[in-house]
Amino acid sequence: MQLLDGKLLSDEILSELKTEVDNIRQKNGKIPHLAAVLVGEDGASITYVNSKVKNCEKVGFKSSLIKKDATITEEELLEIIQKLNQDTDIDGFIVQLPLPKHISEKVITDAISPDKDVDGFHPFNVGKLALGLDTYVSATPNGVMEMLKRYKIQTEGKNCVVLGRSNIVGSPMSMLMSKSSRSEVISKNGYSADATVTVCHSKTKNLQEITSKADILIVAIGQQEFVTADMVKEGAIVVDVGLHRLIDETKKSGYRLVGDVKFDEVAPKTSYITPVPGGVGLMTICSLLMNTLKASKNK
């Protein structure tokens, strides 16, 4: 078993991005600028946004954090988005999800200009991905593709099972893995795809029978330690997107993180597996920064 080490890769990618930003600065070019909008006081969202901002600083990007109370109205949030759409210094921005119940995530996502949508959630960018065109791909699935690329994992003709079909992870993940290597989004980014993909969800029957045939199993179902050893084929590659905070008084932070996969019992059966933490999460942030650099260059 070998770990797919998100920390190692993210250090490598952040260092590459920093070198690129240093070159831009030397040529007096435009420094990429990412803005993040955070609504409310959700602990996990605060951690994610802070980490995004911190990593922007690490690579020399400009970053802006806009914090708003959970009582903000949809109209007020839309006004902020319009300002960010029009701000010529900002290359890309994200609105951290989830949003309070009185605000429609769809309305907000749709209001972000597609050329600043570095999270890749806008229907225009999702549509481009569906057509195999290069675009801002949703950060988490893009991070997984980048991880498989950097570990030189061949996916062509492999049975890939994606557990979960959400708009931000499962669906774009299955689209990417099933694309032809000739498609723009795969060839331009040097990814390996061409897998035979099965998508599973909450209505899937005989889940264990399907997952245990997977050469590559990508899990994004939001169910803590759901995937057990009997669901995994010997020698499979397992990518765990799940992220759950469990209260743990023995930790300084007061919690520990686990994924959607029962790591201890699954890992020995695999050829490669992502740890949690230290796996996909770090790749997600890198992917967001890579999208921001792309947005800045596209200008």
Using the rule CB under 6 A, is 51 a contact of ligand NAP? no
The residue type at 71: T
User: How far is residue 201 from each of residues 65, 107, 164, 165, 206, measured CA to CA in Å?
Assistant: 35, 25, 5, 6, 11
Using the rule CB under 6 A, is 200 a contact of ligand NAP? yes
From 62, 96, 233, 262, active-site residue:
96
Quick check: 293 and 122 in contact, CB under 8 A? no
DSSP per residue, 15-75: HHHHHHHHHHHHTT-PPPEEEEEEES--HHHHHHHHHHHHHHHHHT-EEEEEEE-TT--HH
Of 112 and 219, which has the nearer Cβ to ligand NAP?
219
Query: Phi and psi at residue 208, in whole multiples of 5°?
Result: -60, -40
Using the rule CB under 6 A, is 223 a contact of ligand NAP? yes
Using the rule CB under 6 A, is 118 a contact of ligand NAP? no
Is 52 noted as a catalytic residue in this protein? yes
Of 28 and 206, which has the nearer Cβ to ligand NAP?
206
Using the rule CB under 6 A, is 204 a contact of ligand NAP? yes
The residue type at 122: H
Among 176, 220, 227, 295, the residue binding ligand NAP under the rule CB under 6 A is 220
Of 32 and 242, which has the nearer Cβ to ligand NAP?
242
From 5, 52, 240, 262, active-site residue:
52
Is 96 noted as a catalytic residue in this protein? yes
Quick check: 136 and 125 in contact, CB under 8 A? yes
Q: Write the CB contacts of 9 (distance below 8 Å, at least 6 apart in sequence).
A: 146, 147, 150, 282, 283, 286
Is 119 noted as a catalytic residue in this protein? yes
Contact characters 159-198, ligand NAP, x per CB under 6 A: ----xxxx-xxx----------------------------
Binding residues for ligand NAP, rule: CB under 6 A, are: 140, 163-166, 168-170, 200-204, 207, 220-223, 241-244, 260, 280-281, 284
